[in-house]
Structure 1
Amino acid sequence: MRYFILLITACFCTANLSAQSKNSKTKTVLFEDFNGKSLNRKLWNVEITGQTNNNEQQAYVDSASTLYLVQGKNAEGARNGALVIKALYHPGFISKEQHHYDFISARINTRAKFEFTYGTASARMKLATGAGLWPAFWALGEGSWPDCGEIDIMETVGDSSWVSHALHGPGYFGNTPIAYRAFFQKGVDVKQWHVYSVDWTPNSLTFKVDQKVTYLVTRAMVEKYGRWAFDNPKFLILNFAIGGGYPNGVNKITEPYFGLSQQSVDQIKSGQAKILVDWVSITKNK
């Protein structure tokens, strides 16, 4: 496993990032390439379901069946390997809190192991599609939600043509007004590899897809609704949720599961509902 916390500019394994590093005065403070045999637990915490939020239909478990690393052809174009988060059909699964689920999946975070304030957070990802499949790459502060501040760098709920960006904080949470759908050009979709990122400064957050600006949020925009909650350290989260409130708000599906279509259930049953993460990085200005 190669996991770097550096104070120098890193040489990335993709041409786009290499060019970016050469042409900008930045330093890389984290680069996780997912190129080992197992997840680096010195950096990542694996969450286990306790309280389920948002009417999500999955339990998060710590299992090699839902969270693992792949190499070679199995990495599907990730040169140095990739992280896989996979949703599985597991009817009758019972959590330690005695809650019942028909699906299991995975969620990891860097809480108390790596947290940052300001800079650019990026991840190269390849996503699953299907109504109610809900992968996300995001950052969260310590403390009670939403006061701690949440940065949703990338979310999708199964529509292959767009991803969303959003901020949650005091006065702007849940169905937050600080949100935007970024649509892909014709012939491009979330099933292909893309770099999702946010440039975070004391007064703005600039969201990008493949280095192209898709949404700019300023402090003034946020403060129309409530306190700016983005001046405290955040930790990273990668997860793959199944069904729930956000998918249902888009697709209006209630059967066979809340926010999850039968077609997506069949996709999960066939073992095809998975996301891949090539790498994650945090850079800062020198």
Structure 2
Amino acid sequence: MKFVHFTAIALIAILSSVKAQQTRPKADTVFFEDFNENTLDRTKWNVEITGNTVNDEQEAYVDSASTIYLLKDARAEGAKNGALVLKAIYHPGFISTKDNKYDFISGRINTQKKMEFLYGSASARMKMSSGAGLWPAFWALGNGNWPDCGEIDIMETVGDSSWVSNAMHGPGYFGNTPIAYRAFFPAGMDVTQWHVYSVDWTPSSMIFKVDGKVTYAVTRAMVEHYGKWAYDNPKFIILNFALGGGYPGGVNKIKAPYFGISDATLGKIKAGQAKVFVDWVLVTKGVK
């Protein structure tokens, strides 16, 4: 991965974290999901259903075996014990619970009130389709009003397979936040291959990684330059597959056939080729 040019403060935070890890026992696992069952474990995960959408996204989230399902063996495409699949589907005229119309359906799950954690490490092994406007994400969110509740974007991609982004959103630094970074893959690697995306969260820093390599380091002081540090409260995990909307559209400038979604991507969705695979999700305990 391409490394960040860290500020002196961020570098000190990283070195201090590494030193502390060398003198402490290995962190305890507080949550592990291997997706090795036949169906999604509803004791661990909530399935979200769209009423209204945000960010001008083009999809409706539904609770359906067509958009959220598990695969095993060779069908899991390299996930040893099985994989979760979030699939985007072209479904013209779909009506949401709030009577809004969409031409796409997709999947979104979270661990709210079933698994929430305060500090520690969160990681997931994932691979996903590329295509302008495909917007999968692995992130953590606090309870309460956004952005005051604090959002940690561990992995986002908007269709350019050469990079993923890390970001934090809170009061005073949200939307097109200054607390964000694009991590580019080395030549020959991209989002369509398996990678482990993670964040190490402490009371004073966030250290984002891809395949164990640091991509972005954020200190509390960096955040507080813009607003309140909103990361001393429990967060829950979210996995979702959005389509189009503000972030992809802001990057690719595509207006048609759908906001942020290219003709080529539309064809990929219609052909059933827009998928996100998740091998596993792991959360380990941190120091409070």
Q: Give the TM-score, by structure 2 length.
A: 0.91
CA drift of 1:24 comes to 6.0
2: distance between equivalents of 1:236 and 1:27? 18
Counterpart of 2:63 in structure 1 is 62
Counterpart of 1:246 in structure 2 is 247
Counterpart of 2:197 in structure 1 is 196
**Secondary structure of 1:235's match?**
strand
Q: Give 1:159-238 correspondences, 5 Å limit.
A: 159-238=160-239
Alignment RMSD (CA, Å)? 1.2
Q: Give the TM-score, by structure 1 length.
A: 0.91
Counterpart of 1:111 in structure 2 is 112
Q: Is the 8 A contact 2:201 2:286 kept in 1?
A: no
Counterpart of 1:30 in structure 2 is 31
Letter in 2 for 1:199: D
- Residues 34 and 90 of structure 1, relative CA distance in 2, 3 Å threshold: same
1: distance between equivalents of 2:210 and 2:223? 22
1: distance between equivalents of 2:125 and 2:133? 22
Letter in 1 for 2:171: P
**Secondary structure of 2:52's match?**
coil
Deviations, residues 105-140 of structure 1 (Å, cap 9, x unaligned): 000000011000000000000111000000000000
Deviations, residues 153-181 of structure 1 (Å, cap 9, x unaligned): 00000000000000000000000000000
**Secondary structure of 1:31's match?**
strand
1: distance between equivalents of 2:212 and 2:169? 23
Counterpart of 1:152 in structure 2 is 153
1: distance between equivalents of 2:120 and 2:232? 12
Q: Is the 8 A contact 1:25 1:285 kept in 2?
A: no
Give unmatched runs, 5+ long, in structure 1. 1-19
Aligned length: 265
CA drift of 1:285 comes to 4.3
Q: Is the 8 A contact 2:119 2:286 kept in 1?
A: no
Give unmatched runs, 5+ long, in structure 2. 1-20
Letter in 2 for 1:72: D
Counterpart of 1:49 in structure 2 is 50
**Secondary structure of 1:73's match?**
helix
* Percent identity (aligned): 72
**Runs of 4+ more than 3 Å apart:** none
CA drift of 1:96 comes to 1.8
1: distance between equivalents of 2:222 and 2:286? 24
Q: Give 1:5-24 correspondences, 5 Å limit.
A: none
- Residues 250 and 24 of structure 1, relative CA distance in 2, 3 Å threshold: farther
Does 1:129 pair with 2:130?
Answer: yes
